[in-house]
Structure 1
Amino acid sequence: MAHAPQIKVPATYIRGGTSKGVFFNLTDLPESAQVPGEARDNLLLRVIGSPDPYGKQTDGMGGATSSTSKTVILSKSNEPDHDVDYLFGQVSIDKPFVDWSGNCGNLTAAVGAFAISSGLVDADRIPENGIAVVRIWQANINKTIIANVPMTNGEVQETGDFELDGVTFPAAEVQVEFISPVDATDAMFPTGNLVDDLEVPGIGTFKATMINAGIPTVFLNAEDIDYTGTELQEAINGDPEALERFETIRAHGAVKMGLISDVSEAAGRQHTPKVAFCAAPKSYVSSSGKEISADAIDLNVRALSMGKLHHAMMGTAAVAIGTAATIPGTLVNLAAGGGEREAVTFGHPSGTLKVGAEASENGGDWTVNKVVMSRSARVLMEGWVRVPGDSF
């Protein structure tokens, strides 16, 4: 019996922030995968090694976590005053689908560097030495992101001494600016409230801040769900009942936010919204053994991604945290001590992260102009990824 041979697709494997993903130039994809649809999804599923009932993604590039089951497609931008279009696909580990509903803030840190190295940024915009300002159009959510990429002797500078909790080795700092992460015509708080009573049948009713900034996120008080906010991954990911409870809360939050019309649709929208819980600052020991002092942070936050507690913090969720922290009265702001602020440092399972935000109020409506955080990125491997020719 004859079988189709494997094909080679140019690809680059990159760490961005606390995530890893396979990056593609749109024009390098097979023709049928250069447009959205079944062929593209099937190609990316096979590249990553999904769906995998074993949950390991052994036969693909995925790393069997939400942070390492990611794909990126870049192309020269057609948007005015932008350099590159950035499309992110979150690949399910055990199910045959790719979620295109949101952005990956961590991989955003690698987009500028890949765009420069791939020739997607005009040469006259790239300094020989200094900072290249790459204007990114985030095509999933139609937002502008600015990546400040360090350059040395005409090449992207990847090595450095910037340390990012959740990443083992230091690298060059990449400052990422999320510009107007909420459209002026959209509601930052879809329900119209800073805090809602979220009723979850069979589980309870919880105070919740549901915000659309960076990525739609449902924030809960840790103590309301019997947690302290200092938990590490094993405390939740090793508890199937807890994971099921969080997924149920997430589904009902999605309905309340207007993202889906019925909880049954949540299974097909795993990437958004996120669900997170926050608490006042409390000392703990991070997953690396690093002691995190309550005096070094404003609050603790834990967030789930694709059904599991994240090992650090999703970049887009950090945008939501930074935005909510600047708005007096949200659960995130109250956990940080309340009042007005322009930046917040929060504790997560791997350590801490500082994020700044510029938010303003006009007639009771809140807008956020910019959210800024520092990440890093590094190319791990480049060349070709191979997939069976009949897999897409």
Structure 2
Amino acid sequence: MPQHAPQIRIPATYMRGGTSKGVFFSLTDLPPAAQQPGPARDQLLLRVIGSPDPYGKHTDGMGGATSSTSKTVILSRSSRPEHDVDYLFGQVSIDKPFIDWSGNCGNLTAAVGAFAISNGLVDKTRIPDDGICTVRIWQANIEKTIIAHVPITQGAVQETGDFELDGVTFPAAEVQIEFMDPADGEGAIFPTGNLVDELEVPGVGVLAATLINAGIPTIFVNAEALGYKGTELQDDINSDAKALAMFETIRAYGAVRMGLIRNIEEAASRQHTPKIAIVAPPAAYTASSGKAVEAADVDLLVRALSMGKLHHAMMGTAAVAIGTAAAIPGTLVNQAAGGGERTSVRFGHPSGTLRVGAAAQQAGNDWAVTKAVMSRSARVLMEGWVRVPGDAF
């Protein structure tokens, strides 16, 4: 009878943050081989999530078989001055043996502060008995500072509340997130130097596109140019294989123009970034929950794709890109919102609406945004240990 390695167990917390959820780990709780970047870490996290899964269900893992629910987070005390916690995010592919470490998850950022407080990663002297704990997060993927304002009651994280977030079923406590200096990495907000570029895409034609590095590299195109209205829900696009292939082609050519990849073929190994989104002026539609969204409720409509599929709501990092682009007159996002100067924008997405604020300043030919702000919520769903076969990594 063949010998098989027994399962090992690893301390973990399953958390919702914004409209995403993922498996959270303290770095020091991981097996020694997985405490460093590399194949062992990737193999371990793939097995935790249940990828690669040719059935696309994640039946044998903690993933939820969507880009919003196939996520992992590794946290540790920060050695950087004026920071509490280092936050490393891994976007796990569902059907391929691949984890993309190239970007941040803005939604799960809302859960990072809560996890850090509850797991001893924030100095106790910084946690009030009642009030707001300001958690200073170093986002290790993109090397940026994020500030999370986490409500505290009797010295513990306050998770329950009446803050409602479209795309999340139940209300919870509000967590305000500030993305400081949100230009992704060290690059300029507009990597081509243009507010709008002409992007030539085989099979599609020449598209006007705003290519922006803010929160996460994002490609914005007008919905109308692709035959859409901006009111589409998930099934309208995700059930159309030809449309998904078109969006991936546009994303790949945009990534090359942004300097994120050297050639089109590299796009397959960089699935998490850049994002691609379509924008349109305000219009009425019925959200996926059945909620009516009126044209007067929003400044513009946005539909964004993540990991090759239309997102059910909006990625937090893409919301930062939307808020930043909306604040800069001349971008396609700003034009869809009616043009002019603005410090905040409310946009419609498949699950409802979301408001994000950003203040932009022009410095010579360049633009600078000091921070983007939005509200999210977070909640522990389960905590304890995950189990994986001992020879899985």
Which bracket does the TM-score occupy, shorter chain normalised? over 0.9
In the other structure, the counterpart of 1:338 is 339
- Residue 133 of structure 1 corresponds to which residue in structure 2? 134
The offset of 1:88, in angstroms, is 0.1
8 Å CA contact 2:142, 2:185 repeated in 1: no
Amino acid at match of 1:44: L
Task: Give the equivalent residue in structure 1 for 2:26.
Answer: 25
Pairing 1:67-106 to 2, within 5 Å after superposition: 67-106=68-107
Q: Is the 8 A contact 2:184 2:215 kept in 1?
A: no
Q: Does 1:161 align with 2:162?
A: yes
- Which residue matches 1:262? 263
Aligned residue type for 2:378? A
Q: Whole-Å Cα distance in 2 between the matches of residues 21 and 292 of structure 1? A: 29
Residues in 1 aligned to 2:183 and 2:306: alpha-carbon distance in whole angstroms? 21
**Equivalent-residue separation in structure 2 for 1:374 and 1:313 (angstroms):** 13
Give the drift of 1:202. Answer: 2.2
Contact 2:221 2:277 in 1 (8 A): yes
Cα distance in 2 for partners of 1:217, 1:203 equals 19
Structure 1 counterpart of 2:362: 361
Matching of residues 141-156 of structure 1 within 5 Å: 141-156=142-157
Give the total of aligned pairs.
Answer: 392
SS at match of 2:68: helix
Instruction: Report the Cα offset of residue 364 of structure 1.
Output: 2.1
Aligned residue identity for 2:293: I
Superposition pairs for residues 118-129 of structure 1, below 5 Å?
A: 118-129=119-130
| Mapped partners of 1:65, 1:345: distance in 2 | 25
**Distance 1:360-1:26 versus aligned 2 partners, 3 A rule:** same
1:20-66 deviation per Cα after TM superposition (whole angstroms, max 9, x unaligned): 00000000000000000000000000000000011111100000000
- Pairs within 5 Å for 1:102-121: 102-121=103-122
Q: Tell whether the 8 Å contact from 1:184 to 1:367 is kept in structure 2 after alignment.
A: no
For residue 161 of structure 1, give the secondary structure of its aligned residue in structure 2: coil
Which stretch shows the higher mean deviation, 15-24 or 184-193? Answer: 184-193
Contact 2:51/2:92, CA 8 A, preserved across alignment: yes
Separation in 2 of the partners of 1:102 and 1:17?
Answer: 17
Q: Which residue of 1 aligns with 2:233?
A: 232
Unaligned 5+ segments in structure 2 are none
User: Aligned with 1:66: secondary structure?
Assistant: coil
Counterpart in 2 of 1:223? Answer: 224
Q: Which amino acid aligns with 1:228?
A: K
Counterpart Cα distance in 2 of 1:202 and 1:343: 36
Q: 2: CA distance between counterparts of 1:152 and 1:4?
A: 44
Q: Which amino acid in 1 is paired with 2:78?
A: S
- Spell out, residue by residue over 1:181-226, the C-alpha distance to the aligned partner (whole angstroms, 9 max, x if none): 1279521101110000000112211000000000000000000000
CA 1:91–1:4: 2 relative to 1, 3 Å: same
What pairs with 1:321-332 in structure 2 (closer than 5 Å)? 321-332=322-333
Please state how far the C-alpha of 1:359 moved relative to its aligned partner: 1.1
Whole-angstrom distance in 2 between the partners of 1:50 and 1:230 = 32
Q: Which residue of 1 aligns with 2:290?
A: 289
Are the aligned partners of 2:184 and 2:213 in contact in 1 as well (CA < 8 Å)? no
Q: Residue type matched to 1:107 in 2?
A: L
Aligned-partner Cα distance in 2 for 1:61–1:157: 25
Contact 2:143–2:185, Cα closer than 8 Å, also in 1: no
Q: 4+ residue runs of structure 1 moved beyond 3 angstroms?
A: none
* Alignment CA distance shift 1:9-1:116 (3 Å): same
For 1:90, give the aligned amino acid: Q
TM-score normalised over the length of structure 2:
0.99
Q: How does 1:238-249 map to 2 (within 5 A)?
A: 238-249=239-250
Matching residue's letter, 2:92 = V
Distance 1:339 1:186 in 2: 25
Q: What are structure 1's unaligned runs of at least 5 residues?
A: none
Cα separation, partners in 2 of 1:185 and 1:377, compared to 1, 3 Å? closer
1:45 match: 46
After superposition, the C-alpha distances for 1:220-256 in whole angstroms (9 at most, x for unaligned) are: 0000000000000000000000000100110000000
Partner of 2:384: 383
Write the distance in 2 (CA, Å) between the matches of 1:141 and 1:199.
Answer: 28
Using the alignment, how far apart are the partners of 2:253 and 2:183 within structure 1?
A: 22
Amino acid at match of 1:218: I
Q: Deviations over 1:239-292 (max 9, x none)?
A: 000000100110000000000000000000000000000000000000000000
1:182 maps to 2:183: yes
State how far apart, in whole Å, the 2-side matches of 1:316 and 1:201 are. 28
